[in-house]
């Protein structure tokens, strides 16, 4: 089994950005985790 991790950092995200990320069409078997943090 191969596991590949990708991280995308979005600075100063807006509500529109977060909505777009949650609505992404992801292929079957691909898991995503979205974390937010404040600087």
Confidence (pLDDT) at 39: 59
pLDDT level of residue 2 (50, 70, 90 thresholds): confident
Query: How is 3-29 classified by DSSP, letter by letter?
Result: --------SS--HHHHHHHHT--PPTT
Kindly report the pTM of this predicted structure: 0.55
Residue found by looking up tokens 């079957």 in the block: 28
**Structure tokens of 30?**
């691909």
CA–CA separation, 23 vs 36, rounded Å? Answer: 16
CA–CA separation, 2 vs 18, rounded Å? Answer: 28
pLDDT over 70 (residue 18): yes
Say if CB 24 and CB 8 are below 8 A apart: no
pLDDT over 90 (residue 16): yes
């Amino acid at each position: 089994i191969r596991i590949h991790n990708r991280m995308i950092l979005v600075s100063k995200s807006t509500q529109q950005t977060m909505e777009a990320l949650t609505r992404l069409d992801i292929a079957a078997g691909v898991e995503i985790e979205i974390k937010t943090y404040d600087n």
